[in-house]
Structure formats: C-alpha cells, structure tokens
Amino acid sequence: MLADVNIKVAKAKKVIVVSGAGISCSSGIPDFRSADGLYAMVKEKYPDAFVSGKELFSSGLFNNPATTSIFYTFIAELSLACQAAQPTRTHHFIHRLETKGKLLRSYTQNVDGFERRMGIESGGRGNGLKKIGTRNVELHGDLGRVRCVLCFADYEARDDYVEMFREGEAPHCPACEDRCAERVNRSARATSIGTLRPSIVLYDEPHPLGDEIGALQAHDMRRGPDVLLIMGTSLKVHGLKRLVKDFAKTVHEKKGVVVFVNATAPSKEWDSVIDYHIEGETDSWVERVEEDWKKVRPQDWEIQTVLDGEVVHKSVAKGKGKAKPKCGFVLGFLSLTRQTSPRSSWNRTSYPLRRRRKNAPRLRRRKRRLCRPRYRRQGPRAPQHLGEPRHAPPPRLRYPRPLQRPGHRSSVHLPPRRLPLSARVSVRTMQRRSRSTRRRRGSSRRHRRPPQHLAAVTYSMPPPT
C-alpha cells in the first residue's frame, strides 16, 4: 500500500505541498503544539507573564510594554536558532519537486525561511502577485524580514536589528525617519516615527497579503493539481483548514490523491478529505518516495554532466543537408520592399510600400455619423495612382419634406408622379389643443404652443365613369 502511494506521488505532474513546523523538527527547531514545543517552552520560561504559550503569538501582546519586550526577546532567540540550523531532507525534497517541474506551488506555515534558503522563490518584493513569490507562499510570514508598524515598509532583518530585539527594544523605521527629517528641513511639522517588528502574522491579526494569497489559490485550483501533500501540520488553524479543503476538492475532481504525513493522526472531520495518512516522520517517508521514484521514472534523474559547445541545427540532425544560417532569414525579412494583397481582385501585382514621414501627424478617421452616407460599390475600390476610374455612386432621390404649417412655401408637396387634372384635393384641419392642456403642460421651451392649424393634403381619384 505504501509503495502504491509513493508511485502515485512519483508519477504526479502538478503537486501542491502544504507544510507546517513538523518538517523542521529534525533540524533542531521545535514545533508549536507538541509537549516540548514552543507553547510549552514559553509557559515554562515566562509563567507570570502568560497564562498559555499561545498568548505570546497573539496580537494583543502589543498593548502591554512588558509582554512586547518579552515577545521581541523570544523572537530574536528563535531567529538566531533558525539561522544556525540547516534545511531538512523534506526541504530538499520540495526543492527537487520544483527542479523536476512537478511542483505547482508550496504553501508553508513555517517562519524559519528554509524554503528561501533552498532556492525556492518566495517572498517576492514586487507588485501584485509578485509580492508573495511564485513557488513558495509563506502563510505566516518570515523571521528574516521586518516591517514598520506605521508605514508597513518592509526590510531585511539585519544583525543589528536582531540584537536590538534580543535586548527587548524595537528599532526605528528608516523610511519614517527620512520622511520626518525631510519635513523638518523645510520647516514643516514633524511626523511620527514608527518602529520595526518581525514580519510574522500573529493570532487575531489580518494577513497583509490575504487578497494576493486568495488570488494565487484560485489560480492554482484552475490549473488542476493531481496530488496534494500535507506534511508536518496538525491542521488546527482555521485559514489553513479552509485552504486544504478547497485544494482537496479540486484534486478529487481530477481523480488525484490527498496524502497526509504527520506523527499525529488527524481528527475525524478529515476522514472524507484525506485519502492516505502516513504516520511517522516526514524525512523517512520522503526518502522512501525518492527510492521508488528512481525505480519508476529513472529518466527524471538523468543528468547531463558534459556539455559540448557545438549547436547542431534541426535539419542537420535529420540528415537533410547543410542548414541555413538564422541570420539569412532575418536579412530576407528586413529587405522586404513590396507587398501583394491577396484579397484584392484588381491588384495582382506588387506595389512599393509607403512609409510615413518622420514626425508626421497621424491622420484620424472621421466618425461615420459625420460623413456623407457611403454607397455600396459593385467592385473593389481602386487606388488613384493606378489610373482606374472609381465607380460612381447611385443618384440621390429627393423625397418631399414633412408637411408644415399652412401658408408656408414648403407646406404642400406633390408626389413624384403626375396626377390627372380631375384629382380632388381634400384638406383636413386639426384644431389646436385646449387651454387646459396648455396650462397643465406649462409654458416651458420644451412644450411650445402648437400652430393654429395643421393641414394634411390627401389626394383621391374620382370614381371611374
């Protein structure tokens, strides 16, 4: 059964990895919730300051200067421990999935920054989705970064910053100091200067990149992962539980598998979500997976150690003769001076291309509603320089304008055809609106007073005799 799971992981093409603090335990960094984890260590070291170890990682600790100082000292010691430790075999396995082209994305709860040290792109400093990297998403932040509590400027955690944190003090933000000094130099009011804090996400605190993480998750679900690996986490955080369930649903729709690797078993709510639970250390299971991977797909582990400097063209490799240099195609394209229009029936020959003068204004097309009506021609329109005459537009027909008030010169129009002399003309008169209607409508410009009489001319022929 275990070999079948390993083979499915080895044959996967799009793998999503969700990892927790359990994958770093073999490097000497404790996890959070175990008997000898960080929560138990905090409660034992500071029994009077905190009721439970979880309170040290709550956002409410900044309300008290004493707890804030303890938090800075503890985080500095944890950061120094992470710098002295080395990535585990599980981190190397995640990096190998990326180099083999199988890793779709890695979501980690860890703040040690081992994925970044392994070369997995994480913690991008660009705009939009680039802010959180393309391969590794740090759900809870990184101890190697600090940010301002006032302007949210992000910096790398230098050694002097870590030493100040170890003493229980917070360094000042360089961006706020520069902004305040610039205002003072021009005799303006000085602004507040923020302090730096470790760039990690605490409990009861919104994630600064929550929208970007949601967009990345939706993008990965559309790509259709076929394997979901959950390693070294107890699945107790609400946001992570929602993320894992959404990914598991997508993987099951693609007929994939969800594998959970942890020393402790999951709760009953995960029975319909997790397909396989591997109880044990993640490093030992990863080693078994790599052994089965080499047996099933040895081509994934072939490495070319010697590279020759010759580049063979495709046609030469197939034995079709000497290949043409690529520069010939470029020169042939740049020497193009004539062009043939295949869609025009009147232009079967080439004509020279016309180039626009330098700095010449671009002519805009007039809007169609402002132009004269365009008539459909029987054939294509020939250019003037070829000497072919244009097709003349059809003649315009004049129709009588609508009837106007009596006495006007254009009030009565005869039809285009000639009528007999015996035609009788009957005039129908419409009286104007009543006074009450005019009073109800008002005397605005929009409702002008209608004319006294409106005349309509009706032509009728006498009955045949």
Tell me: the pLDDT tens digits for 247-302? 999 999 999 999 999 988 888 889 889 999 999 899 999 999 999 999 988 888 77
pLDDT digits (tens, 9 = 90+) for 107-163: 999 988 888 888 887 765 444 455 555 788 999 888 889 999 998 888 998 899 999
Q: Is 173 annotated as a binding residue?
A: yes
What pLDDT is attached to residue 208?
82
Is residue 29 a contact partner of residue 248, using CB atoms and an 8 Å limit?
no
* Mean pLDDT computed over 391-420: 50
What is the rounded distance in angstroms from the CA atom of residue 259 to the CA atom of residue 7? Answer: 12
- What does the pLDDT average to over 30-45? 71
**Which one is predicted more confidently, 219 or 378?**
219
DSSP string, 34-89: STTSHHHHHHHH-TTT-SSGGGGGBGGGGGSHHHHHHHHHHHHHHHHHHHHS---H
Mean pLDDT, residues 169-182 taken together = 92
> Residue 57: its pLDDT value, please?
79
- Establish whether 140 is a catalytic residue: yes
Distance CA 282, CA 23 (A): 6
Kindly state the helix (H) or strand (E) to which residue 435 belongs, with its residue range.
Answer: helix 435-441
Q: What are the angstrom distances between the C-alpha of 88 and each of 11, 117, 311? A: 23, 11, 39
- pLDDT confidence bin for 26, thresholds 50/70/90: confident
Q: Which of 261, 211, 300, 268 is nearest to 17 (CA)?
A: 261
User: Which fold is adopted by the domain 30-84+146-200?
Assistant: SIR2/SIRT2 'Small Domain' (3.30.1600)
pTM, two decimals, is 0.62
Share of the chain residues as helix, strand and coil, in percent rounded to the nearest 5:
35, 15, 50
Looking at every residue in the chain, the average pLDDT score rounds to 73
CA 233, 239, 245, 247 dihedral sign is: negative
Q: Does 82 show up as a binding residue in the annotation?
A: no
Residue 80 confidence (pLDDT) above 60: yes
Q: Is the CATH number of domain 1-26+87-140+203-298 3.60.130.10? A: no
SS3 19: strand
Positive or negative: CA dihedral 197, 201, 203, 209: positive
Alpha-carbon distance 180 to 184, whole Å? 6
C-alpha triplet 230, 232, 233: angle, nearest 5°: 80
What are the CA-CA distances from residue 331 to residues 39, 334, 339, 376 (Å)?
A: 70, 5, 16, 42
What is the C-alpha R_g of the chain? 41
* C-alpha dihedral (266, 271, 274, 280), degrees to nearest 10: 30
Mind listing the pLDDT tens digit for each residue in 290-336?
A: 999 999 888 887 765 554 545 444 444 444 444 444 433 333 333 33
- Set 140, 391, 413, 447: catalytic member: 140
Beta carbons of 90 and 19 less than 8 angstroms apart: yes
Closest CA to 19 of 101, 100, 119, 88: 88
Q: Is the separation of the CB atoms in 151 and 175 below 8 Å?
A: yes
Q: What is the pLDDT of residue 62?
A: 87
Question: Is-contact 104 166, C-beta < 8 A?
Answer: no
- Going from N- to C-terminal start, the domains of the chain cover 1-26+87-140+203-298, 30-84+146-200
User: What percent of the chain is predicted at pLDDT more than 90?
Assistant: 25
Q: Is 180 annotated as a binding residue?
A: yes
Is 327 part of any known ligand binding site?
no
pLDDT higher than threshold 80 for residue 358: no
Provide the pairing of β-strand 351-352 with 338-339.
Answer: antiparallel
Band (8; pLDDT cuts 50, 70, 90):
very high
